Amino acid sequence: MHCNNCALSIHKLLEKKGLKNIFVDFASEEVKFSNNDTATIPGIIKDIEGLGFKVVDDPATEVTPFYEKIENKFIFCAVLTAPLLLHMVLPWHFFHNPIFQLALCIPVFLVGCLHFGKSAINSIRGGVPNMDVLIFTGSTAAFIYSLVGTIQNLGPQYQFYETCATIITLVLLGNVFEKRSVTQTTSAVKDLIKIQQSNANRIVNGVVEVISAKEVRPGDTLLVNMGDKVPVDGEILSGNASVDEAMLTGESMPVEKEKYDTVIGGTIIVHGNITMLATKVGSNTILSQIIDLMKKAQAAKPPVQKLGDKVAAIFVPAVILISVLTFVLTFFLGHTAPQTALMNAIAVLVISCPCAMGLATPTAVMVGLGRAAKNGILIKGGDTIEAVAHTKYVVFDKTGTLTTGKFRINEIKAEGDTGIELVRGVIMAIEERSNHPIAKSLVNELKKLPQTKVILKSAKEEKGLGMRAEDIEGNHYFLGSGKVADESGFNISLYKNQKLLAQIAVDDEIKQDAAALVAQLKKMNIVPVLLSGDKNNRCLKVAKLIGIDEVHGEKLPEEKLKVIDIYKQKGKTIMIGDGINDAPALTQADVGVSMNDASQVAIQSARVVLLNTDLISVVKFLQISKHTLLTIKQNLFWAFAYNIIAIPVAALGFLNPMLGAFTMAFSDVVVIGNSLRLKKKKVDG
């Protein structure tokens, strides 16, 4: 696929077949859909190929024949077109011979017929004419007109072979540049896929065997040495190492890992070596999920693209109509020579460029998402970029978002004659079953202290409240904040069979860059808001330290939704959170942003995931989104302005078809080039 109309024709075909969740992205050349019956797949592939496309399973293993490569087609046509153009400046008589010109033009025209004609005819059959219809019509009109002049010996004023050949050659040159540029815009995903491609050292019965990372299965024991890529996600069984996780988090400093720590596929061991247990392989690894999210994100269209899509769908028929009118008006009403009227009509066809409109949005979105990913920001949809434009409020959860999520136990107060070691044992047993940052910190701190071992039969987390558990003796426990803690600093309560067993005072530390982030948001005229389930006095204390004025404490998940709704009515609202209790609010906000070390539910609910722990990346995300949207608007302006100006200029006879083909070929390159600026562009402003 090489233009938006190609994608539209495939989309239409799949819709007619009644398929669901259709996704066609011409820039990455991918087609996806949901289908209950796999037996129909060969038929669907045959129908897509009937439209003139080729379906491949794995582009990495696909070998393009020499004669099908766009670069080779261009070189072949350029060699034959050069002498046709030279006849205009060189006096050599044989260059002017119509038979000599016809002999040079025929091979170029045949390449054009096979390349553009096949695509043009199939796009008309598909019901969505593409830009190749314009190129094919223009070059064919010039060729037939010249051929008739040669057969009837009508003289040099009927010889436009160079026009036909030059149109085809220049558009092929444009396609070469476009292909290379589009490849650059999709480089972020390709870079991630390359990271996946590595070997693994599998240990079987004490013997190390080298296999592909694709062959690793859950439960395999792997050896990873210094300088090696970690092949899949897993846990360290023995050894310790410094791991470079920059590809995932953007964090430049290596992370120290030891026994029981998790390692992520694609990261690199810069020092040390480890033996690890493979836990997630194939499409379940974090890297595979990121690649999948990136692909989906690149395909999600921002609302601003819909205008370009609508125009592109009716563009080709409209241009053909304008071209016919140009010929009729110039020849019959303008009383000009037929060749002048024809050249004007052909110029209208070849200067028009629906591709620029189709490429305007996806290329900018791809580069923007790629840049964000390299900064440790995973954006789940191109539409998210437009959703954050003109953000008015950024709502923060407190624990694990503005604070580190690392807690210290200040005090445990056991009620009555309950032993402190028993209390520690109950807390430890319950919190081991939770993913909440407080739970993790309590477990880390308590495992170093003496305690009575308690065995649980069951434990479950209650959103925004805490944990309920039952031990093997049938005792029921509740551990959590809810709204039961008093103002004395004890913010977690432990109940046994509905009687208070102990109270715990826990404190967490504020992240270093929280105050800087709040100050930066205020500079951008964005109002920071604190929304938490924690006690009011604790929320106010944190808010005061980092400069947040609007605070909502002691909110349960359903109450958080109401607060988000109120802010949404006042302006665009982003919610940043990390816990299970934040998931509904993350979904409810215009855009939900989740921290990478958040719970899986929060990550799935959010539209943006910060892969590093650096809060300032929130500002980076807003800046990249702003500049991506600006680039989309610049691209669309260029695409529309180019066509609005170029078509009337060509119709009035101020452009010959060869110059028209040249400017059309490079209008795409201008759009893609502007998108590629996003890779290096300064986005601080």
Instruction: Please tell me the distance from the alpha carbon of residue 18 to that of residue 360, in angstroms, as a whole number.
Output: 29
How would you class 460 by CB atoms within 10 Å of its CB: exposed for 0-12, middle for 13-18, buried for 19 or more?
exposed
> Has residue 210 got a pLDDT over 60?
yes
Instruction: Please tell me the distance from the alpha carbon of residue 476 to that of residue 457, in angstroms, as a whole number.
Output: 10
Mean pLDDT, residues 606-615 = 77
> Has residue 322 got a pLDDT over 60?
yes
**Residue 482: predicted pLDDT:** 46
- Domain 198-285 -> CATH class: mainly beta
**Residue 487: predicted pLDDT:** 56
**Residue 417: predicted pLDDT:** 83
The domain spans of the chain are: 198-285, 376-402+511-625, 404-509
Give the bridge partners for 528, in sequence order: 394
Q: Which residue, among 177, 182, 111, 183, has the nearest Cα to 143 in the 3D structure?
A: 111
Count how many Cα atoms sit within 13 Å of the Cα of residue 641 in the half-sphere of its side chain.
Answer: 8
**Residue 298: predicted pLDDT:** 56
Instruction: Please tell me the distance from the alpha carbon of residue 245 to that of residue 254, in angstroms, as a whole number.
Output: 7
How would you class 55 by CB atoms within 10 Å of its CB: exposed for 0-12, middle for 13-18, buried for 19 or more?
exposed
**Residue 484: predicted pLDDT:** 45
> Has residue 478 got a pLDDT over 90?
yes
> Has residue 458 got a pLDDT over 60?
yes
Instruction: Please tell me the distance from the alpha carbon of residue 148 to that of residue 160, in angstroms, as a whole number.
Output: 11
Q: Annotated catalytic sites, by residue?
A: 397
**Range of 24-28, 128-132, 255-259 with top mean pLDDT:** 255-259
Instruction: Please tell me the distance from the alpha carbon of residue 597 to that of residue 436, in angstroms, as a whole number.
Output: 10
> Considering Cα of 654, then 658, then 663, then 664, what sign does the dihedral take?
positive
**Residue 244: predicted pLDDT:** 82
SS (H, E, C) 546-583: HCCCEEECCCCHHHHHHHHHHHHHHCEEEEEECCHHHH
How would you class 416 by CB atoms within 10 Å of its CB: exposed for 0-12, middle for 13-18, buried for 19 or more?
exposed
Could you give the dihedral angle defined by the CA atoms of residues 677, 681, 683 and 685, in that order, rounded to the nearest 10 degrees? Answer: -110
Contact 445, 410 (CB under 8 A): no
Mean pLDDT, residues 175-185 = 67
For Cα atoms 124, 125, 131, give the angle at the middle one, nearest 5 degrees.
Answer: 25
**Residue 90: predicted pLDDT:** 63
**Residue 560: predicted pLDDT:** 86
Does CATH number 3.90.1150.10 belong to domain 376-402+511-625? no
> Has residue 380 got a pLDDT over 80?
no
> Has residue 551 got a pLDDT over 80?
yes
Instruction: Please tell me the distance from the alpha carbon of residue 350 to that of residue 346, in angstroms, as a whole number.
Output: 6
Contact 379, 297 (CB under 8 A): yes
> Has residue 606 got a pLDDT over 70?
yes
**Residue 297: predicted pLDDT:** 56
The DSSP symbol for 489 reads: S
- E strands, 511-541, in order: 527-531
- 480 vs 181: which has the higher pLDDT: 480
**Range of 87-91, 298-302, 445-449, 580-584 with top mean pLDDT:** 445-449
Q: Which residue, among 644, 646, 639, 623, has the nearest Cα to 672 in the 3D structure?
A: 639
- As a CATH number, domain 404-509 is 3.40.1110.10
At 69 the three-state DSSP class reads coil
The rounded Cα 538 to chain-centroid distance in angstroms is 38
Question: Model confidence over 278-314: pLDDT tens digits?
Answer: 998 887 887 777 677 656 655 555 565 566 566 666 7
Question: Model confidence over 48-61: pLDDT tens digits?
Answer: 888 778 888 766 66
SS (H, E, C) 592-654: EEEECCCCHHHHHHCCEEECCCCCCHHHHHHHHHHHHHHHHHHHHHHHHHHHHHHHHHHHCCC
Reported pTM = 0.62
Confidence of residue 512 (pLDDT cuts 50, 70, 90): confident
Mean pLDDT, residues 158-168 = 80
Contact 627, 652 (CB under 8 A): no
**Residue 483: predicted pLDDT:** 47
Q: Which residue, among 163, 123, 156, 103, has the nearest Cα to 139 in the 3D structure?
A: 163
**Residue 485: predicted pLDDT:** 45
For residue 249 the two structure tokens come to 């988090």
How would you class 101 by CB atoms within 10 Å of its CB: exposed for 0-12, middle for 13-18, buried for 19 or more?
buried
Q: How far apart are the first and last CA of the chain?
A: 36
Helices (H), 87-198: 98-112, 118-125, 131-151, 161-185, 187-196
Question: Model confidence over 81-130: pLDDT tens digits?
Answer: 888 877 666 666 667 788 888 999 999 999 989 888 887 887 787 777 77
Which of 121-135, 476-490, 570-584 is predicted with the least confidence, judged by mean pLDDT?
476-490
**Residue 225: predicted pLDDT:** 92
Confidence of residue 490 (pLDDT cuts 50, 70, 90): confident
